Amino acid sequence: MTTIRDVAKHAGVSVTAASYALNNTGTIGEATRKRVLEAAEELNYHPNAFARNLKKRKTHTIGVFISRFGGSFYEEILEGIHSLILDTDYELLVCPESRSARRILLHRQVDGAIVFDSKISDEQVLKLASRHFPIVVMDRDLQSDFILPLLLDNPQGVREAFWHLHQQGFRKLSFVAGAMDSFDNAERMATFLAEAERHNLHVPVYQGNFTEISGYEIARAILQSDDLPEAVFCANDQMAIGFLRAMREHGLQAPNHIAVIGFDDIPLARYMQPSISTIGTPRFEWGTTAVRQLIDFIENETPFQPQRIPTRFLPRESSILNVHSQTSTGETILGPASSDPS
Amino acid sequence: MTTIRDVAKHAGVSVTAASYALNNTGTIGEATRKRVLEAAEELNYHPNAFARNLKKRKTHTIGVFISRFGGSFYEEILEGIHSLILDTDYELLVCPESRSARRILLHRQVDGAIVFDSKISDEQVLKLASRHFPIVVMDRDLQSDFILPLLLDNPQGVREAFWHLHQQGFRKLSFVAGAMDSFDNAERMATFLAEAERHNLHVPVYQGNFTEISGYEIARAILQSDDLPEAVFCANDQMAIGFLRAMREHGLQAPNHIAVIGFDDIPLARYMQPSISTIGTPRFEWGTTAVRQLIDFIENETPFQPQRIPTRFLPRESSILNVHSQTSTGETILGPASSDPS
DNA sequence: GTAGAAAAGTGAAACGTTTCATTTAACTGC
DNA sequence: GCAGTTAAATGAAACGTTTCACTTTTCTAC
């Protein structure tokens, strides 16, 4: 590995001069600057990032911490994050759950973090965040000047969905819940149950974990009984897909036998047969917003602006009665889009 | 930030002793070791990764370089990579295309790399690879002791698909190509055209770029003419989806009007209506294989074992004539699975 | 020509570790 | 109680940068 020392020697100049020339800092003559750059080129020199970061105490890197790559969910968020990063001179580092996540976070190998991994504890995040290490959290609500919670507006979408069901006359409702430690699941469930409560409806809750298979198994259990719900709300699309699969295997169809609604609007949702009613989230923009605010904070100490990411109910075939001739991607709007019609 | 110096002082011991204690190296008494660890705990000490890496010249990190997150394609590969990394004490760093990719690669911020990003040039890879920096490439074929090409066995799947079409009597075929700089596209196209050649068929090629929209637009162009092909082979699923969308808009159906085959078996393919015939690849295992060999090389200098990742044709509704009553996920096998029946 | 200011260039310290070469302390067996 | 060994602990150098404080050179205006 060739070092800056080699470059300096080759250009017949001091190490300092070489450093200034390479970084365009300090004060250096045009002639020598050229000479140094040529030497660097010739020797195929690339600065050692560790030495540099060690000295500068800045990495110019944003770290994104997610739990896993699968599930079609993070994909668009990551794309949004990536697209905005491309416009900056920051680097991006994505780290799935593991020892490494902890390490990288703790070691401050990044200048700021975006956290979307429930395996990282609240205490961890709170302890880490500081003026010099701002953190955006997308899956929890924490109070701190150095932490920006960017959360989905779950209540909005859930209320629209509830209203959609209620307006069509569905009264026997069930809720299929996702992972218990999930903020989003909690909020979706709380909202749905609260709405039901307001209409004096009792809603049984089935505990799943956001996976397709958990939705499938819950459905199997439910379908055993002869007292079927009229509609189920699943806390995410994966479970809705599993639920529908079980229904199909039992010879039942949505929405005729049971109406089904999911959450997230993953790509599959609109292509399934029947297409799945769900709640859409602007994930791409979610990602860009996170990066924008984070970099703004790092560069200019612009205070964080907490905001909710809007959600929107998308009625599709799986929950619309007597409308079987739609296109599979149709977005027919039945009710008003406002949140709380009562 | 608390440094090892603070820890040493707090434990009343030399810096060296602290380092030995923390790393479980050197020779250190059990009592002092305990004392140091307690001090570290108490001061909430975390070693500075840059200083450490600078000294050790090892990062214990594997870098994965992909072009982007979207497209459902990398997802499973990344999951495979991640799952295996979890079993090791290596860290994982995923880097989408950008300046950063180049930088991180050049700066050797990782101990080994997995490259799946055509924006990184062959020369770059060749120049970088060395005994101390092995590289797995998944999207090109390069010869070097320090480079492991792990490529799809495109010919296998394409031949099966061609045979499937031919056996059903399709003779007017078209090929929708992906990005020109793609190894996989080149190989898929070459194989398909060679097979056609052997049967004295001329196959028009339409140049796309792997995106859904390019498939859509090519289809629109083709559908203008009144001389439609009987079947089209798209170099990936995204383009097949676009192609089918255009067909639907023209009131045409696959396979009745035009049979359509894709490549990759992305999750959507089986759920589309009609389900899309495609060529499946074990992406998860592809990822694990890459990591396994890479770490094996790094740790034990185990020579790379080049191998082809098998592919398999999956006949579905979009290319099977007169079989309309299948389940949308059915995997009916029509022909023998062997590659070259002639 | 010269004083003073500006520009160009340099030496050395510092960043926080690890590790080599040494020293010091603690055991052995006799 | 001592020579010889082994175990425990240490000081200092090194990793490759950046940057502060300083020196040397070049320019400017009179």
Predicted confidence (pLDDT) per residue in B280-332, tens digit: 999 999 999 999 999 999 988 899 999 999 999 999 999 998 744 443 444 44
pLDDT given for residue A336 in this prediction: 37
Taking the Cβ of residue B78 and every Cβ of chain A, the question of whether any pair is shorter than 8 Å is answered with yes
pLDDT given for residue A100 in this prediction: 63
pLDDT given for residue B58 in this prediction: 87
Mean pLDDT, rounded, for A78-105: 81
Among all residues of chain A, which has the CA nearest to that of B68? A79
As to burial, measured by CB atoms within 10 angstroms (0-12 exposed, 13-18 middle, 19+ buried), residue B316 is buried
Q: Residue A73's pLDDT band (boundaries 50, 70, 90)?
A: confident
pLDDT exceeds cutoff 70 at B339: no
Cis peptide before A274 (omega within 30 of 0): yes
pLDDT given for residue A96 in this prediction: 82
Do both B84 and B124 map to the same domain?
yes
pLDDT exceeds cutoff 50 at B337: no
Which token pair is B23?
């790393």
Does the CB of A100 fall within 7 Å of any strand D atom?
A: no
pLDDT given for residue A58 in this prediction: 87
Strand B147-152 and strand B173-177: the pairing is: unpaired
Rounded distance between C-alpha atoms, residue A268 and residue A333, angstroms: 20
What residues of chain A lie within 8 A of the CB of B78, using their CB?
69, 96
Mean pLDDT, rounded, for A78-83: 92
Mean pLDDT, rounded, for A50-72: 87
Let me know: does B234 contact B215? Beta carbons within 8 Å.
yes
Do both A260 and A215 map to the same domain?
yes
Q: Residue A321's pLDDT band (boundaries 50, 70, 90)?
A: confident
pLDDT digits (tens, 9 = 90+) for B242-262: 999 999 999 999 789 999 999
Mean pLDDT, rounded, for B71-75: 80
Rounded distance between C-alpha atoms, residue B105 and residue B63, angstroms: 8
- The upper half-sphere exposure of residue B12, i.e. CA atoms within 13 Å in the direction of its Cβ, equals 4
Higher pLDDT, B100 or B153: B153
Cis peptide before A255 (omega within 30 of 0): yes
Determine, for residues A98 and B109 on separate chains, whether the beta-carbon distance falls below 8 Å. no
CA of A12, C1' of D23: distance in angstroms: 18
Q: Residue B109's pLDDT band (boundaries 50, 70, 90)?
A: confident
Which residues are B91's β-sheet partners?
Answer: B61
B212 belongs to a structural domain: yes
Do both A218 and A191 map to the same domain?
yes
Let me know: does A114 contact A157? Beta carbons within 8 Å.
no
Most B CBs within 10 A among A3, A91, A110, hence the mutation to make, goes to A91
Mean pLDDT, rounded, for A250-267: 92
A342 belongs to a structural domain: no
C-alpha A217: how far from its chain's center?
A: 26
Rounded distance between C-alpha atoms, residue A137 and residue A293, angstroms: 12
Q: Residue A101's pLDDT band (boundaries 50, 70, 90)?
A: low
Nearest residue (CA) to C1' of D15: B55
Do both A118 and A78 map to the same domain?
yes
Of A7, B11, B155, the C-alpha closest to B22 is B11
- How confident is the prediction for chain B on average, in pLDDT? 89
pLDDT given for residue B101 in this prediction: 66
Rounded distance between C-alpha atoms, residue A103 and residue A5, angstroms: 32
Which residues are A206's β-sheet partners?
Answer: A176
Do both A272 and A296 map to the same domain?
no
Q: Report the phi/psi class of residue B210: left, alpha or beta, with left for phi > 0 and alpha for psi in -120 to 50.
A: left
Cβ-nearest to B93 among A54, A72, A95:
A95
Of A284, A234, A275, A223, the C-alpha closest to A254 is A275
pLDDT given for residue A131 in this prediction: 87
Write down the pTM of the prediction.
Answer: 0.83
**Type of residue found at B188:** R
Determine, for residues B50 and A50 on separate chains, whether the beta-carbon distance falls below 8 Å. yes
pLDDT given for residue A61 in this prediction: 87
Residues 6+ apart with CB under 8 A from B237: B262, B263, B264, B265, B266, B268, B269, B276, B278
Do both B202 and B222 map to the same domain?
yes
Let me know: does A150 contact A309? Beta carbons within 8 Å.
yes
Mean pLDDT, rounded, for B30-56: 92
pLDDT given for residue A342 in this prediction: 38
Rounded distance between C-alpha atoms, residue B50 and residue A61, angstroms: 14
Report the gap between the CA of B315 and the closest CA in chain A (Å).
Answer: 19
Do both A242 and A303 map to the same domain?
no
- In CATH, what number is assigned to the domain containing residue B123? 3.40.50.2300
What residues of chain A lie within 8 A of the CB of B82, using their CB?
68-69, 96, 98
A54 belongs to a structural domain: no
> In percent, how much of chain A has pLDDT > 90?
68
Do both B114 and B175 map to the same domain?
no
pLDDT given for residue B273 in this prediction: 82
Of A275, A176, A172, the C-alpha closest to A228 is A172
DSSP collapsed to 3 states, B292-331: HHHHHHHHHCCCCCCEEECCEEECCHHHCCCCCCCCCCCC
Of B320, B208, B168, the C-alpha closest to B253 is B320
Higher pLDDT, B68 or B155: B155
pLDDT given for residue A109 in this prediction: 80
pLDDT exceeds cutoff 80 at A329: no
Rounded distance between C-alpha atoms, residue B256 and residue B322, angstroms: 8
Mean pLDDT, rounded, for A111-132: 90
Do both A63 and A204 map to the same domain?
no
A252 belongs to a structural domain: yes
pLDDT given for residue B334 in this prediction: 41
Most A CBs within 10 A among B2, B4, B46, B50, hence the mutation to make, goes to B50
Most B CBs within 10 A among A67, A109, A238, hence the mutation to make, goes to A109
pLDDT exceeds cutoff 80 at B178: yes
Rounded distance between C-alpha atoms, residue B331 and residue B277, angstroms: 9
A259 belongs to a structural domain: yes
When mean pLDDT is compared across A37-41, A118-122, B71-75, the lowest value belongs to B71-75
pLDDT given for residue A268 in this prediction: 87
Let me know: does B62 contact B92? Beta carbons within 8 Å.
yes
The boundaries of the domain holding residue A32 are 4-47
Of B48, B37, B46, the C-alpha closest to B11 is B37
Taking the Cβ of residue B53 and every Cβ of chain A, the question of whether any pair is shorter than 8 Å is answered with yes
Its sign, for the CA torsion B181, B186, B189, B190, is positive
Of B247, B273, B249, B275, the C-alpha closest to B261 is B275
Residues 6+ apart with CB under 8 A from B190: none
B132 belongs to a structural domain: yes
Mean pLDDT, rounded, for A137-148: 95
Let me know: does A157 contact A263? Beta carbons within 8 Å.
yes
Nearest residue (CA) to C1' of D13: B55
C-alpha A128: how far from its chain's center?
A: 20
Angle ∠(B258,B263,B265) on CA atoms, nearest 5: 110
Higher pLDDT, A207 or B103: A207
Which token pair is B87?
């079993």
> In percent, how much of chain B has pLDDT > 70?
91
pLDDT given for residue B99 in this prediction: 62
Rounded distance between C-alpha atoms, residue A282 and residue A310, angstroms: 7
Does the CB of A118 fall within 7 Å of any strand C atom?
A: no
Determine, for residues B107 and A271 on separate chains, whether the beta-carbon distance falls below 8 Å. no
What residues of chain A lie within 8 A of the CB of B267, using their CB?
72, 268
The count of structural domains within chain A is: 3
Rounded distance between C-alpha atoms, residue A63 and residue A43, angstroms: 32
Q: Tokens 């799946």 appear where?
A: B116
pLDDT exceeds cutoff 90 at A170: yes
Mean pLDDT, rounded, for B202-218: 95
DSSP symbols for A46-72: ---HHHHHHHH----EEEEEES-S-SS
Which token pair is B215?
């498939």
Mean pLDDT, rounded, for A175-188: 95
pLDDT given for residue B270 in this prediction: 87
What residues of chain B lie within 8 A of the CB of A94, using their CB?
93-96
Do both B183 and B323 map to the same domain?
yes
Do both B328 and B188 map to the same domain?
yes
Mean pLDDT, rounded, for A179-187: 94
Q: 10 Å Cβ neighbour count for B64?
A: 27
pLDDT digits (tens, 9 = 90+) for A269-313: 988 888 999 999 999 999 999 999 999 999 888 999 999 999 999
- In CATH, what number is assigned to the domain containing residue B16? 1.10.260.40
Rounded distance between C-alpha atoms, residue A237 and residue A134, angstroms: 32
When mean pLDDT is compared across A99-103, A297-301, B3-7, B252-256, the lowest value belongs to A99-103
B342 belongs to a structural domain: no
Let me know: does A15 contact A8? Beta carbons within 8 Å.
yes
Q: 10 Å Cβ neighbour count for B265?
A: 24
Q: Residue B98's pLDDT band (boundaries 50, 70, 90)?
A: low
Taking the Cβ of residue A88 and every Cβ of chain B, the question of whether any pair is shorter than 8 Å is answered with no
Does the CB of B73 fall within 7 Å of any strand C atom?
A: no
- How confident is the prediction for chain A on average, in pLDDT? 89
Taking the Cβ of residue B106 and every Cβ of chain A, the question of whether any pair is shorter than 8 Å is answered with yes
When mean pLDDT is compared across A84-98, A239-253, B109-123, B146-160, the lowest value belongs to A84-98
Mean pLDDT, rounded, for B67-86: 87
pLDDT given for residue A1 in this prediction: 80
Taking the Cβ of residue B150 and every Cβ of chain A, the question of whether any pair is shorter than 8 Å is answered with no
pLDDT given for residue B87 in this prediction: 86
A133 belongs to a structural domain: yes
pLDDT given for residue B91 in this prediction: 84
Do both A82 and A146 map to the same domain?
yes
pLDDT exceeds cutoff 70 at B126: yes
What residues of chain B lie within 8 A of the CB of A69, using their CB?
74-75, 78-79, 82
Let me know: does A154 contact A191? Beta carbons within 8 Å.
yes
DSSP symbols for A275-335: PPBEEE--HHHHHHHHHHHHHHHHHH-PPP--EEEP-EEE--GGG-TT-----TT-----S
CA distances from B220 to B213, B214, B255 (A): 10, 10, 17
